[in-house]
Every structure is written in C-alpha cells, then in structure tokens.
Amino acid sequence: MDLMDKKLIKISKFLGFILRHKPESINLTLDQQGWAEVDQLINLAAQKGTKIDFSILEKIVANDDKQRFSFSQDQSKIRANQGHSIEVDLSLKPQTPPEYLFHGTATRFIKSISQQGLLKKSRQYVHLSANKSTAISVGQRYGTPVLLKIRAKKMQEIGYSFFLSDNGVWLTDRVPRAFIDFPEQ
Ligand code: HQG
C-alpha cells in the first residue's frame, strides 16, 4: 500500500463517519436523502482540520473498495450508499432477492442471534450479501467469523421487503431466526 492509498483510506473512513453517522461533528447537515453539499463538506472538514479537495473525493467515489459513496449527477452533492445509523431516505425500491443471502457475524453474537434473529442494531437495516466471501470479511471485523445463510426468497414471499443499495449490499429490516441456517457447531 503506498502513501496515497493510505491517505485515501483515511479520508474514506472519515467520510463514512460523517456521511453515515455524525455529520453534526463538523456542523454539516445532510438533506433527507442523505446528500451533503460537496463545497460545504470540504469547507467544514477543513475547519475541523481535515483537508479534502474535490479531486480526492473523485478518487474515493471511483476507487473505494466497496464503492461506499456516490455523487449526485452534477457532482455538487455526495452521499454514502448504505450503512447509515442516521435516518435517511435512500429511495431504494424493493427487489426480489436471490434464494439465499449471507450474513457474516462473529462467534460471540451467535447465541443472541439464535434467540432474537438478526437485528439492525445501530444501523438503518440488517446488511446481507450475495456472496459468502464478502459476508465472511464483514464478520471478521468483530472476531472469529461465522457465516449465516439466510432464506431470503422465502422471507420475501411471505412479505418481508428487501432492498439493494447502489453498491450491491442487500438490506432488510430484520431476519427472524426461522430463516437463518446456522453452521453446525
Ligand atoms: C450483530 C460494513 C447479537 C451483527 C460491512 C453484526 C457491512 C447481533 C453486529 C456494514 C444480533 C452489527 C454492516 C443479535 C445482529 N444479537 N448480535 N440479535 N443481530 N447482530 O457493523 O452487518 O466497511 O452494524 O451480526 O461491510 O457487521 O463500514 O453491521 O455483527 O456492509 O462500509 O451485530 O458495515 O461496511 O454490526 O456491517 P454492524 P454489519 P463498511
């Protein structure tokens, strides 16, 4: 990883924090759809000591490993594609999920998940992925990863809604335990 990559990752983390969780920490306000004015973001971040310019934002939007951020069409605004803990309306339309989706978690959460199902915790949705390897790396963030297989299509057939974020993450309100296949211990 070269220095530039390191800088971009640092700013991408900063953006994730600001655009998903705490815009007020730099006195920024997001609109209802989660958009921040790019100029405002740049100015307010600078006031709090984080130097960002438009070309860095362009690089992050284009190259972020999970495509976490998007510009509005005219590039005057930027937002996070998913992962919010603050209330935003991403205007995602319900979609039919594949038969199975995956959720990566850590061993220490399994007992509670087997009792309560998957809950969204501090975020707006439970996050699921179509491929196993993504789910495993998500779970790894919290400890020894465990892969849960979710009967998504069944859930949708009985009335649960699923949404697909612009960066390919499947989102739903909750997953009752009956739709989760736990790995054998
Ligand atoms: C767990 C990252 C106990 C859940 C990733 C997870 C993702 C329960 C944790 C995105 C539970 C919440 C989201 C229950 C759920 N009892 N634990 N009943 N129900 N949990 O970070 O899915 O890199 O809010 O399994 O790639 O880990 O930030 O959710 O372990 O897409 O862009 O509670 O964040 O994206 O943790 O990750 P999180 P997540 P970024």
Q: How far is the CA of 122 from the centre of ligand 1 (A)?
A: 9
How many CA within 13 A on the CB side of residue 63?
Answer: 14
Mean pLDDT value across residues 14-27: 98
pLDDT at 168: 95
Protein residue with its CA nearest to atom 25 in ligand 1: 105
Give the tens place of pLDDT for each residue, 102-148.
999 999 999 999 999 999 999 999 999 999 999 999 999 999 999 99
Residue-range domain boundaries for the chain: 3-80, 101-181
Query: Average pLDDT, stretch 62-78?
Result: 95
Average pLDDT over residues 79-101: 96
**Structural domain 3-80, CATH architecture:** Orthogonal Bundle (1.10)
Q: Report domain 101-181's class.
A: alpha beta
pTM for this entry: 0.92
- pLDDT of residue 3 exceeding 80, the answer is no
* 138 Cβ closer than 6 Å to some ligand 1 atom: yes
Rounded-to-integer distance, Cα 30 and Cα 19, Å? 8
Closest Cα to atom 29, ligand 1: which residue?
127
pLDDT at 184 over 90: no
Which of 19, 82, 122, 127 has the most ligand 1 atoms within 8 A of CB, as the residue to mutate? 127
In the block, tokens 């179509």 appear at 130
Q: Which single residue is written with the structure tokens 């006031």?
A: 47
pLDDT > 80? residue 1 = no
